[in-house]
Amino acid sequence: MTKPIVHRNPLFELLRAEKVAEFNQRKARGEVKPDMLRGGDFRGLDLRELDANGLDLRDAYFRGADLRGIDFRNCQLEGASFCQAHISGCFFPRELRADELRLSFDLGIRVRYHP
């Protein structure tokens, strides 16, 4: 099993400091590489308003994070864990079935995509 990573880059550190608006601005300027957050440790963070479009969040760890209202439809989430995360109002990729998400929320399993 992949362990969550605390990446050492300024954009990841913005999210760890819950400066989502600044992260989104820098992403809009093209400073964010799609895979620079892969496997990231986002435990307990308030990430509401995150622009997740195009991000690679595979293997990310969102235990207890506030993700309400985030549109994840156009990003990679396979292998992410959503244990006890706040996910109301979120959109998820079609490949991520509701039962996978529920198991992840309840038990902390990492989600798998199904075609």
Q: Specify the pLDDT at position 33.
A: 86
Task: Say which CATH number the domain at 70 has.
Answer: 2.160.20
| Structure tokens that stand for 108 in this block | 């902390």
Q: Specify the pLDDT at position 1.
A: 52
Q: Specify the pLDDT at position 24.
A: 97
3-state secondary structure of 46: strand
Counted domains in the chain:
1
Which domain covers residue 106, as residue numbers? 1-115
Contact in structure between 39 and 57 (CB atoms under 8 Å): no
What share of residues in the chain are helix, strand, coil (percent, to 5)? 25, 10, 65
Which stretches of the chain drop beneath a pLDDT of 50?
none
